[in-house]
C-alpha cells in the first residue's frame, strides 16, 4: 500500500493535444479537418473508401511503408491557404502531408486518372496475367486496379522477366513473376518477427524477393506475409489449387491460442475448412496478426468457435451467393396471412388482344408472332 501511494499517476499532456492544429483539406469535393502531420491518403480514408486512392505498397499497420508503387498519386490543385499555388507534379498521397486549405483531386482529376492508367500498365509489364490459375484471383488488388484503370491491351513487345518458383518454407511459396516489389512482406517480416528474414536482392529489372541462401522462413508469425501481399506472389501451399475463394464461405471465428489473439477468418465449404486467414478491415489491412499454428495447422471446423459471416465488400466476387443457405423461408403463405384468397385486380385478357385465352401457344411451331393470332 505504501509503495502504491508513492507511485505517480501518468500525466496526460492535454496542453500538447490541445495545441495540435487541425488542418482543413478538401479531397474530391469532400472537406474534412485532420490533425497536422496527417497524410493525404490517411485523410482520404477518414472520409471514406470511395474517396481514398488505391494503395499497393502502403500499409497502415506497418511503419515506413509507401512510396514504391505510385498508384496513390493525386493532384494538388491548391497547396494551402497561405500558398494557394498548385503543385506542379502529381504527388504520392501516402507520403505527402496535408496543409491547411489544401485541395486534392483523386477520381475527379483527369491527370490523376490518366497517370494511374499508365502506372497500372507499368505494373503489368512483367506480370504473367495468369489469373485463371492464380490462387489470389478474386482477392487480387492488382486485378481490381487493372479492371478500373487498366488498358485493354499492352504495348510492351519485349520478353518478360521470369524467375523460378521458390519455397520460403514448408507452407509458403514465392512466385516472383507476379511480384510488384511493394516491400510489404519485407516490412512485415522485419517488424513482426523482430529480425531480418528476407529482403530484395539485386537491382533494376533483376530485383527479386529472396532469402539469399534459400533459408526457410520459420518464424511463428511469418505466415502473415501471405495476407499483406496485394498480388499472388506469396501463396499458402496448404491451399494451393484446392478451391476458388468465391466458392468458399468466409466466417469470423476464434480459438484459445497461447501464441496469438486467436481471432481469424475461416474459409470453409460444407464442413471442410480450406484455409485460415487473418481478419481484414475495409481497406484490406490485417486487424490482428495470427500465428502459423492457427493459419496452417487448424483446418478442422471443430477447432474453431464460429461467430458470424465475415463482412465482405459488395463489389467482391467472394460475396456472391454465400449466405443463401441460411436465409429464412416464410412459414406462412399469403392466403394464410390475409385469411382469404388474393383477388386478381387485373385480368390480362381484358386489356390485351395478344394473350387470348382460346389460343393454345404450345401448338405453335417456334416463337409466336402476330400472324398466329389472325383468323
C-alpha to C-alpha distance for 370 and 375, rounded to whole angstroms: 11
Q: Does residue 202 contact residue 208 with C-beta atoms inside 8 Å? A: yes
Amino acid 294: pLDDT: 95
**DSSP class per residue in 221-279:** TTTHHHHH-SSSSEEETTTTTT--GGGSEEEEEE---SSS--EEEEEEETTEEEEEE--
Write the CB contacts of 105 (distance below 8 Å, at least 6 apart in sequence): 27, 28, 74, 75, 76, 77, 111, 112
C-alpha to C-alpha distance for 252 and 65, rounded to whole angstroms: 28
Amino acid 2: pLDDT: 35
Amino acid 62: pLDDT: 92
User: Hey, what domains does the chain have and what are their CATH numbers?
Assistant: 16-123 (3.10.20.740), 157-236 (3.30.70.20), 245-326 (no CATH)
Chunk the chain into consecutive blocks of 10 residues (it has 375) and report each block's average pLDDT, rounded to whole numbers: 37 54 94 94 94 94 91 94 93 95 94 93 89 90 88 83 88 93 92 81 86 77 94 93 90 94 92 93 93 94 92 80 53 72 62 59 66 63
The pLDDT tens digits for 235-276 are 999 999 888 898 899 999 999 999 999 999 999 888 899 999
Terminal-to-terminal C-alpha distance of the chain: 107
Sheet arrangement for strand 166-167: 166-167, 172-174, 234-236
> At 364, is the secondary structure helix, strand, or coil?
coil
Amino acid 151: pLDDT: 77
In this structure, what C-alpha cell is assigned to residue 364? 405453335
User: By C-alpha distance, which of 135, 130, 132, 131 is closest to 243?
Assistant: 135
Q: Does residue 230 contact residue 141 with C-beta atoms inside 8 Å? A: yes
For residue 47, with 0-12 CB atoms within 10 Å meaning exposed, 13-18 middle and 19 or more buried, which class applies?
middle
Amino acid 303: pLDDT: 93
C-alpha to C-alpha distance for 69 and 51, rounded to whole angstroms: 19
C-alpha to C-alpha distance for 215 and 87, rounded to whole angstroms: 46
Amino acid 352: pLDDT: 55
C-alpha to C-alpha distance for 27 and 45, rounded to whole angstroms: 10
Amino acid 16: pLDDT: 44
Give the global pTM: 0.76
Amino acid at each position: 500500500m505504501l509503495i502504491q501511494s508513492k507511485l505517480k499517476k501518468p500525466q496526460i499532456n492535454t496542453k500538447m493535444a490541445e495545441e495540435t492544429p487541425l488542418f482543413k483539406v478538401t479531397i474530391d469535393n469532400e472537406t474534412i479537418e485532420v490533425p497536422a502531420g496527417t497524410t493525404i491518403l490517411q485523410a482520404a480514408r477518414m472520409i471514406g473508401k470511395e474517396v481514398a486512392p488505391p494503395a499497393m505498397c502502403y500499409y497502415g499497420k506497418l511503419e515506413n511503408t509507401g512510396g514504391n508503387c505510385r498508384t496513390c498519386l493525386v493532384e494538388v490543385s491548391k497547396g494551402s491557404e497561405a500558398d494557394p499555388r498548385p503543385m506542379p507534379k502529381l504527388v504520392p498521397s501516402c507520403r505527402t502531408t496535408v496543409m491547411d486549405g489544401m485541395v486534392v483531386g483523386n477520381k475527379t482529376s483527369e491527370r490523376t486518372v490518366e497517370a494511374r492508367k499508365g502506372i497500372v500498365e507499368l505494373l503489368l509489364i512483367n506480370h504473367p496475367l495468369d489469373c485463371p490459375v492464380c490462387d489470389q484471383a478474386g482477392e487480387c488488388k492488382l486485378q481490381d486496379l487493372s479492371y478500373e484503370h487498366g488498358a485493354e491491351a499492352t504495348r510492351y513487345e519485349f520478353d518478360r522477366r521470369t524467375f523460378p518458383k521458390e519455397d520460403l518454407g514448408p507452407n509458403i511459396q514465392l512466385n516472383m513473376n507476379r511480384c510488384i516489389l511493394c516491400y510489404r512482406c519485407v516490412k512485415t517480416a522485419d517488424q513482426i518477427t523482430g529480425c531480418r528474414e528476407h529482403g530484395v536482392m539485386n537491382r533494376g529489372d533483376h530485383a527479386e524477393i529472396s532469402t539469399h541462401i534459400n533459408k526457410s522462413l520459420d518464424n511463428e508469425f511469418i505466415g502473415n506475409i501471405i495476407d499483406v501481399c496485394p498480388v499472388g506472389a506469396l501463396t499458402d501451399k496448404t491451399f494451393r489449387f484446392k478451391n476458388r475463394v468465391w466458392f468458399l464461405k468466409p466466417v469470423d471465428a476464434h480459438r484459445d491460442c497461447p501464441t496469438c489473439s486467436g481471432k481469424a477468418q475461416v474459409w470453409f465449404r460444407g464442413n471442410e475448412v480450406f484455409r485460415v486467414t487473418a481478419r481484414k478491415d475495409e481497406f484490406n489491412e490485417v486487424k490482428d496478426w495470427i500465428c502459423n499454428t492457427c493459419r496452417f495447422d487448424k483446418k478442422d471446423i471443430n477447432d474453431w468457435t464460429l461467430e458470424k459471416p465475415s463482412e465482405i465488400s459488395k463489389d467482391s466476387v467472394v460475396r456472391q451467393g454465400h449466405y443463401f443457405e441460411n436465409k429464412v423461408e416464410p412459414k406462412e403463405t399469403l392466403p394464410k396471412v390475409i385469411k382469404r384468397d388474393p383477388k386478381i385486380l387485373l385480368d390480362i385478357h381484358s386489356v390485351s388482344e395478344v394473350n387470348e385465352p382460346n389460343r393454345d401457344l404450345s401448338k405453335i411451331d417456334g416463337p409466336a408472332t402476330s400472324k398466329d393470332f389472325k383468323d
